[in-house]
Amino acid sequence: MVMGPTCGMVLADLGAEVVKVEPIDGEATRRLLGAGAGFFPMFNRNKKSIGIDLKQPDGAEAARRLAASADVVAENFKPGALKKFGLDYASLAAANPRLIYVSHKGFLPGPYEHRTALDEVVQMMGGLAYMTGRPGDPLRAGTSVNDIMGGLFGAIGALGALIQRGITGQGMEVQSALYENNVFLMGQHMLQYAMTGKHPQPMPARDNPWAVYDVFTVAGGEQIFLAAVSDAQFATFCDVLGFADLKADPALATNNDRVKLRPQLLTTLRERLAPRSAAELADLFERAGLPFAPIRRPEDLYDDPHLNATGGLADVVLPDGEQAGRTVKTTLFPITMAGERLGVRLQPPPFGAHTAELLAGVGYAEADIAQLRARGVVA
């Protein structure tokens, strides 16, 4: 739903022609509600859509012909699921040794590889939920972090394989997996334990290396994150807020001194900052070059002046459901190339919008395409 489509979106944003092969009734994410409502328009821009019934022999043949025309085939199925259609790496590579085949899985090959994985599953078993929630209250991260990053790593692998193919002339299989992605994210905490012998505490209860590094509730119940991560920053922090007594206190002279007194210091700061407004504090910290962040909800980002000024949001036209045809803003891949953001070249495609074009491109006659459609092989 997210991992494989993210890989395709990244390659499409970078300029590849990407064909999304959907089930004969359309990908299920087109119909998701609630937290899944944004999946399809987010991860499927810049792609072409074709609907194919792989269970019909002529459908599997059409998919194989499309694959034979591709530099890269990316899939996101359980291990072995595509073999019966002749769409596994071994089958396709036998016909095209230059093919790069990117498999997105729950787990890399090993004891867990046949388990059913979800982002939440690997967050729970891979330490991320433990590190995110309060002690005794594991909590998944607030976005599909492993799905998205797993697709990103799949795309990185595809790009590396393309470079290697330019040297050797041979394709290869690339595998990316949710669980291993999550474990990669946990590497810094694993090494913390290996080096210190101490169990890393969840983020809300961690042994913070900085004394001033927290969310403060201020006037009107607003919240703002404020930080001072060096002695120079703490001196500036005290100057801009008028806390001369804290700056002069020898017990707070160094960061490590302040960390030892962190509970007391934070209590003092919370009391003193409570009457100040978030806007006032943001202005003071921005002018002083201190780290700060207002606490925002996702919808607030649509009004972010930086994103709007730099072209970080782009229009997409919704392809499905009651809102089909409505234009909304989406986020772009977070890089520039030659000073430009990678924009939307193709809108998220209506289901099967490019079926005839794509089949014609691999040799099907117009009458053959009409017959396949009439028999429910393609849509």
Query: pLDDT tens digit string along 279-322?
Result: 999 999 999 999 999 999 999 999 999 999 999 999 999 999 99
38 and 143, same domain (yes or no): yes
Degrees to nearest 5, angle at CA 298 with 296 and 301: 75
Residue with tokens 């991320």: 128
Question: Considering its fold, how many domains does the chain have in total?
Answer: 2
Is 90 exceeded by the pLDDT of residue 379? yes
For residue 207, the model assigns a pLDDT of 82
Query: pLDDT tens digit string along 189-229?
Result: 999 999 999 999 999 988 888 999 999 999 999 999 999 99
pTM of the model: 0.93
Is 90 exceeded by the pLDDT of residue 277? yes
Last residue of a domain, one of 270, 298, 326: 298
Give me the residues paired with residue 100 across strands.
72, 172
CATH code of 230's domain: 3.30.1540.10
76 and 222, same domain (yes or no): no
48 and 144, same domain (yes or no): yes
| 93-118 mean pLDDT | 97
- Pairing mode, if any, of strands 18-22 and 47-51? parallel
List the one residue out of 3, 26, 25, 23 whose CA is nearest residue 348.
26
Is 90 exceeded by the pLDDT of residue 238? yes
For residues 379 and 62, what is the distance between their CA atoms, to the nearest angstrom?
Answer: 12
For residue 208, the model assigns a pLDDT of 87
Give me the residues paired with residue 137 across strands.
134
Residue 20, SS3 per DSSP: strand
Residue 283 sits in which domain range? 209-298
Q: Quick check: is 192 in a domain?
A: no
Is 90 exceeded by the pLDDT of residue 176? yes
DSSP string, 110-144: STTTTS---HHHHHHHTSHHHHHSBTTB----SS-
For residue 206, the model assigns a pLDDT of 86
For residue 44, the model assigns a pLDDT of 98
Structure tokens at 103: 């498999």
Q: Percent of the chain at pLDDT above 70?
A: 100
Is 90 exceeded by the pLDDT of residue 122? yes
Tell me the residue ranges of DSSP E strands in the chain: 18-22, 47-51, 72-75, 100-105, 172-177, 212-217, 223-228, 292-294, 313-317, 327-331, 336-337, 340-341
